[in-house]
Copies of this chain bind each other. A is one copy, B any other.
């Protein structure tokens, strides 16, 4: 192993709005411009594209051309099931017509996955959940969550679907909120083509150990994708990977390598106030050090320390391997 392929959500290279800076944290960026910025990073091989494509008049061929000139492939398509129409939920919307609309949008996205030869449809049901106590019937809500995903997986058995869980935001509480809950749902659905996309930051601020979460998903054969970033354990800050919690990020990748997990090392960062190309470069610079650190790590000594739950020795080994690799 080693020499991982790097990827990024295309939104990494967009600009953002929030509920305060409603005029945005910069000039709007078209999809094609975003792809060019992704290309400018130099180390990226993959992007995840949101769907529908937003540039006026843009065609799939335009997208393909932009990707080709930047040497980028598409790892996944993320249908936007979290915009206005889905404000009260996509799979769990109280209105069956809206649930159907989510289904149709995702079905379209599945077609794009096939067209682009991507690896999966990514489901991030950020509006599915609740805000208040007593707001929903929890049995019905969860059932709708699983039925919606299961139906898609059944109808598109040639494709993979990945669920990106997250504790909250924009919904005050999301239904797919943790690795264990998501695995429980996936096992209930019982189809081979549904898995997890593990976002390091979501796991971290959800109170999980991302390394433990990855191990669990791997043990169920469901870790289909991952992405990284950083935060302060209280919110999905989507900061540059490695800036705040380098040790836990290293443990996360240690767990992946130990299990011979091979997949794209993706970035899911929101550089609100930073240059997006520089933010990606900074993260990749660190991730390369992580990769070298894994080469250097004395894995036998690490296993021995872990067998004894010897934290001090394990951390000394980890720190030396990582820090000397920067």
- Chain B residues with CB under 8 A of A207: 167, 177, 206-207, 234
Is A251 within 8 A of B26, CB to CB? no
Interchain CB contact under 8 A, B138 and A211: yes
Q: Tell me if B302 and A134 are in contact (CB < 8 A).
A: yes
Interface residue tally on A, bucketed by range? 35 or more
- B94 lies within 8 A of A309 (CB): yes
Residues 117 to 139 of chain A near chain B (Cβ within 8 Å):
126-127, 130-139
In chain A, positions 290-326 with a C-beta closer than 8 Å to chain B are: 302-303, 305-312, 314-320, 322-324, 326
Q: Interface readout for A15-55 with B: 1 if CB under 8 Å, 0 if not?
A: 01111111111100000000000000000000000000000
Q: Is the CB of A87 within 8 A of B273?
A: yes
Return the CB mask of A250-274 against B: 1 if under 8 Å, else 0: 0100110000000000000010111
- In the assembled complex, the CB of A54 is this many whole angstroms from the nearest CB of chain B, namely 9
A 132-172 to B, binary, CB cutoff 8 A, 1 in contact else 0: 11111111101000000000000000000000000111101
Complex CA distance for A89 and B209, rounded to whole angstroms: 18
Contact between B84 and A21, CB atoms less than 8 A apart? yes
Q: Please, how many angstroms separate the alpha-carbon atoms of A323 and B212 in the complex?
A: 25
In the assembled complex, A113 has its CB within 8 A of some CB on chain B: no
- In this complex, which of A139, A169, A211 has the most chain B Cβ atoms within 10 angstroms of its Cβ? A139
Shortest Cβ distance from A142 into B: residue: B216
Q: Which residues of B contact A26 (CB under 8 A)?
A: 84
* A101 at interface by CB-CB < 8 Å: no
Q: How far is the CB of A254 from chain B (nearest CB, A)?
A: 8
| Contact between B178 and A135, CB atoms less than 8 A apart | no
Question: Which one of A67-75, A104-112, A195-203, A236-244 is at the interface?
Answer: A236-244
CA distance in complex: A97, B216 (Å): 26
Determine if A193 is an interface residue (Cβ-Cβ < 8 Å). Answer: no
Q: A190-228 interface mask toward B, CB cutoff 8 Å, 1 = contact, 0 = none?
A: 000000000000000011010110011001000000000
- Residue among B25, B136, B247 making CB contact with A244, cutoff 8 Å: B247
Q: How distant is the Cα of A150 from the Cα of B216 in the complex, in angstroms? A: 18
- Judge whether B243 and A126 touch: CB under 8 Å: no
CB atoms of A248 and B133 under 8 A apart:
yes
State in angstroms the CA–CA spacing of A272 and B126 once bound together. 14
Specify which chain B residues have a CB less than 8 angstroms from the CB of A134 in the assembled complex.
247, 251, 254, 302, 305-306, 311, 314-315, 317-318
- 4 closest Cβ pairs, A-B complex: A180-B181, A132-B311, A180-B180, A323-B323
A–B pairs, 18, beta carbons within 8 Å: A20-B170, A23-B83, A131-B237, A135-B310, A135-B311, A137-B303, A137-B307, A140-B307, A172-B239, A187-B187, A234-B234, A240-B311, A244-B247, A246-B246, A274-B311, A274-B312, A320-B326, A322-B323
